[in-house]
Amino acid sequence: MRRKQSRLGLTALLVMLVFALTTTAFATPEDPTELTGTQYIECPDCGALGVTLSDSGQAVPCETCAGSEYPGYIQSPSRYFNTPLSLLPPVIAIALALITKEVYSSLFVGILVGGLLYANFNFEGTILHAFQDGIVASLSDGYNVGILIFLVILGAIVSMMNKAGGSAAFGRWAQKNIKSRAGAQLASIVLGCLIFIDDYFNCLTVGSVMRPITDKHNVSRAKLAYLIDATAAPVCIIAPISSWAAAVAAFAEDGQGLNLFIRAIPYNFYALFTIVMMVGLVVLNVDFGPMALHEKNAVENNDLFSGSNPYAMMDSEIDESKGSVLDLVLPIVVLVAACVIGMIYSGGFFSGEDFITAFSNSDASVGLMLGSAFGLVFAIIYYLIRRSMSFRDLMGCIPEGFKAMVPAILILTFAWSLNNMTSSLGAKFFVRDFVRTSASGLQMLLPIIVFVVGCFLSFATGTSWGTFAILIPIVQNVFDMSNPMAIICISACMAGAVCGDHCSPISDTTIMASAGAQCDHVNHVSTQLPYAISCAAVSGVTYLIAGVLAYFGGPGLLALPIGAAIMLAFLYTMKVMKK
């Protein structure tokens, strides 16, 4: 079915980072950009007003668009505006990413191709458009800069938490209070869900905290690596206060990304079913595929590795005298609280708006930036009072945190820049016209198509952020955000990106989960893959059900309990077959 519909579906889904532009309050009565096949763009000098202010403060006709058929608008200088070639930059970027398995250079080549098409292959125009209107414009945008500041501060706080010894202290506490094998696994899941602010922090922390506990109860390292990986990206993608939420919000229009993110959470079937699957595996005491052998060796033979230990030479001793549980818990609690207050502040809560309205209207860039700044100040003061580190060591954590976030910053910068390129080529108008004339009959199938495309793209490139940065803006151009199908497809973008990342052996998160559990990387990938594919299959069926329900006016959310029931039935069937 996927191959049969790929020519229509994939064409509509492989546009790279197209922001939907809104019509201003001063738009002319007839907006030529709404016409099918339009070649018009807003006048850059008057912003679609048709008039500008003279030196004396008088409104005078705009010279730039004065001769245009539509005052306030001019024809695009590119010959490739609103044509199939407007899709070429993202298609090339994706193809290169699939071939080279490297996302940074692929995105940059896509940016250059966008510059070539916009400048009609003029060398000077290409360079100026790619850098000035692409990279520089992205990094000079106030909203984007706020997101980058949040990421850097988050990295600094994470570095401070690790150096303060909070993780080791939690491990000592847990060893005294967790008595069973199932309890050790459930504690790993709970800790992974609690550390939702960033997937890197999750992998680094949960592994070091839970490894001594799971070893004590003969849980295989492959199973621990799965639990770490499954509570990293899948939890971050449904947590409103996280680096992932900030990234998703950055690709939405008008600062409403966080509102969109929250509305999409109930439809993020892969992330939700991954949590259901983890708990079901532990409670039902069932494993299948290569993981079953690893768990059997751990329980019966006390062999946690089912082979050699690649980390046997590493010093795994914990400093029993450093840190307390509060060194981990309190900074996280304060960070979350500060970010929530920062977001409702940006949404007007302290100006009279109610909490729900303020949270829905919040600006993720402003809220997370301010909240993380207060969280950083608290962490510094707290660790100084606790004498966990010297002031010099605390300041050293800031550049370390910046270094940890460099990959995320690069992906965001190039993604924003490529979005500027595709926007300047009118790709959103081409997609809109295509949907209007050709793809209306595919709408009920778009959720599962988007999910599958996201899975394969993220698996091949090893990056979730690059994938949902590609797909989310496209959905915004296909649907009005008030359409229930739009939210389902937005969720399918994020779920597919996380699923592919979860399966990919070249994903940073997968590699760090192996390192956090001190598990052989090949063992981790091979044991996790059957679990991830099973969850993806159930999620795909659920997206198909949700799409059909939404298309015919039914409640798409009804698909969630149906999918959860399918997942639990699958696990119970595997348990029966095991017996």
Kindly report which listed range (229-238, 283-292, 333-342, 555-564) carries the lowest average pLDDT score: 333-342
Half-sphere exposure of 453 (CA within 13 A, CB side): 36
- In whole angstroms, what separates CA 392 from the centre of its chain? 33
pLDDT at 329 over 60: yes
Residue 385's pLDDT band (cuts 50, 70, 90)? very high
Listed in sequence order, the residues at least 6 apart from 566 whose beta carbon sits closer than 8 Å to its beta carbon are: 538, 541, 542
**359 or 263: which carries more pLDDT confidence?**
263
Kindly state the tokens that stand for 535.
């969850």
User: How much is the pLDDT for 163?
Assistant: 83
* Model confidence pLDDT, tens digit, residues 226-265: 999 999 889 888 888 776 777 777 766 655 677 788 888 9
The CA distance from 453 to 500, in Å, is 9
Q: Please list the alpha-helical segments (H only) found in 84-216.
A: 88-100, 103-118, 123-130, 137-139, 142-164, 166-177, 181-194, 199-216
CB-CB contact of 20 with 481 (8 Å):
no
pLDDT at 278 over 90: yes
* Model confidence pLDDT, tens digit, residues 40-87: 888 877 877 777 877 777 778 887 887 777 888 888 889 999 888 888
* Residue 359, helix vs strand vs coil: helix
Handedness of CA 391, 393, 396, 400 (dihedral sign): negative
pLDDT at 379 over 70: yes
| pTM, full prediction | 0.66
CB-CB contact of 366 with 330 (8 Å):
no
pLDDT at 429 over 60: yes
User: How much is the pLDDT for 517?
Assistant: 82
The CA distance from 520 to 507, in Å, is 15
User: How much is the pLDDT for 321?
Assistant: 58
Please give the helix or strand (H or E) that residue 492 lies within, else none: helix 484-503
CB-CB contact of 288 with 574 (8 Å):
yes
Q: What is the mean pLDDT of the chain?
A: 80
The one-letter amino acid at 296? K
